[in-house]
Amino acid sequence: MKTAIIGAGLSGLACALTLEKYGHQAEIFEKRQMVGDRFVIAEAMFSMLHTPIDDEIRYLSDTHGIHLTPSSNIQKVFCYSKNESACLDGSIGFTNMRGKHPDSYEKQLAAQLNSTIHYNHNVRYDDVKNDYTHVILATGDALDTTQFQPYDVAYKASFKGAVLAGEFNPTEAHTFFNNDFAPKGMAYLLPHSQSEASLVLAYPQYSENEDLDKEELWKMCYEECSKILDQDFKIMHEYSIKDYRIGKIEHARIGNTFFVGNCWGAITPVFGFGQFESILTGIYAAQDIAGYGDYQKLVEPLSQGYHDSLSLRRTIEKFDNHKLDLIIKSLNNKALEGIITNKNINFFKLISRLVHPFSRHA
């Protein structure tokens, strides 16, 4: 058995590590010159999105032998709408670094690996299909799946972000739900350390958003963040992403070709997070190859999670700033906060099923 993995990101590396656990070595092809060869940002995993798994890091370690060290444990998430604010308390999730940062998750995974990574190899499926018994498509790019099957695009996202220098509490994250600068989207600030943080503005590129001036939205977002945190930040570097596809394919596996991470549809549409799901798809594909499961079946709960999340997004998208204010205000109700952060209730799944009871197809 010979396995080629195209892409040394989260899903590809998790797949290779799991294959090694079962005694198989994969060959990994990475188009860049090193793992994580892109801009540095902080990303997050919020446990409330993965209930009943209440600690993704421990779960990956104990259940799958994938060991990750996050940058910090989030103890508070501040939520802001145009006129209201609330704070969720507890062990809410983790922040971690991505990209060139020495502690980025992709670098941590690569450090645990024995398999060969062929760098500077921008590989197409046709380049490897005849030389390997199994191919894993893990390029992080939805467009790469369209030669095999339709990729159902839920929406294309536009991102603008920056690394800010200032004073931050690494255990506190800040989220902004304000249609004035994040139309049908959100902005969030995730600390890297006490002196650095990532600010991200993300919104869907719907036709009604097309004429909006992204730089103007970003300026408003930055000013709101500065005002709320009462600081004049120094912008260390900025980046902008367009046409980031969030969607899903139907078949997780076709023949001996496996679609993992973003190439499968790992990003949950409501907030656009997909790290945990990407890692899981890589693990599940490896389990199938090693004879310990059926990939299509293993991803079913994730598939259901995707559809639930999309239903919730479609509902939230209809909210104007007034409704967003009411929701954020209601988070100050301790009983509601208790349900959202409850380790046994997946609040987001519950709500998505209530708002769209028939969206249950995996």
Ligand X SMILES: Cc1cc2nc3c(=O)[nH]c(=O)nc-3n(C[C@H](O)[C@H](O)[C@H](O)COP(=O)(O)OP(=O)(O)OC[C@H]3O[C@@H](n4cnc5c(N)ncnc54)[C@H](O)[C@@H]3O)c2cc1C
User: For the chain, how many residues are written?
Assistant: 362
- Separation of alpha carbons 327 and 88, rounded Å: 13
Q: Is 183 exposed, middle or buried (0-12, 13-18, 19+ CB in 10 A)?
A: middle
Q: Which of 307, 254, 249 is nearest to 285 (CA)?
A: 254
Handedness of CA 14, 346, 292, 262 (dihedral sign): negative
Task: In angstroms, give the least distance from the CB of 194 to ligand X.
Answer: 19
Q: Three-state SS for 23?
A: coil
Q: Which residue lies nearer to ligand X by CB, 67 or 156?
A: 156
Q: Which residue lies nearer to ligand X by CB, 122 or 146?
A: 122
In the sheet with 234-248, reading across from the earlier edge strand, the strands are 41-46, 85-98, 72-80, 172-176, 186-191, 196-204, 152-165, 234-248
Q: Which residue lies nearer to ligand X by CB, 84 or 260?
A: 260
Assigned token pair, 343: 């380790």
Task: In angstroms, give the least distance from the CB of 213 to ligand X.
Answer: 20
Q: Which residue lies nearer to ligand X by CB, 43 or 84?
A: 43
**Backbone angle region of 21, left / alpha / beta, with phi > 0 → left and psi within -120 to 50 → alpha:** alpha
Q: Which residue lies nearer to ligand X by CB, 102 or 338?
A: 102
- Separation of alpha carbons 65 and 313, rounded Å: 33
Task: In angstroms, give the least distance from the CB of 35 to ligand X.
Answer: 7
Task: In angstroms, give the least distance from the CB of 335 to ligand X.
Answer: 28
Residues that bind ligand X (CB under 6 A): 6-12, 29-32, 41, 43-45, 121-123, 138-141, 159, 161, 200, 241, 244, 261-262, 266-267, 273-275, 278
What does the angle CA 115 – CA 120 – CA 126 come to, to the nearest 5 degrees? 80
- Separation of alpha carbons 351 and 330, rounded Å: 15
Task: In angstroms, give the least distance from the CB of 36 to ligand X.
Answer: 7
Assigned token pair, 330: 């209601």
Task: In angstroms, give the least distance from the CB of 49 to ligand X.
Answer: 9
Distances (CA, A) of 101 to 31, 42, 125, 177, 248: 18, 9, 29, 28, 29
Q: Which residue lies nearer to ligand X by CB, 239 or 319?
A: 239
The residue with its CB nearest to ligand X is: 9
Task: In angstroms, give the least distance from the CB of 159 to ligand X.
Answer: 5
Q: Which residue lies nearer to ligand X by CB, 29 or 84?
A: 29
Q: Which residue lies nearer to ligand X by CB, 270 or 325?
A: 270
Say which residues have a Cβ less than 8 Å from residue 85's Cβ, sequence separation at least 6: 78, 79, 228, 328
- Separation of alpha carbons 200 and 217, rounded Å: 12
Task: In angstroms, give the least distance from the CB of 121 to ligand X.
Answer: 6
Distances (CA, A) of 54 to 23, 91, 300: 30, 9, 20
Q: Which residue lies nearer to ligand X by CB, 188 or 325?
A: 188
Task: In angstroms, give the least distance from the CB of 322 to ligand X.
Answer: 28
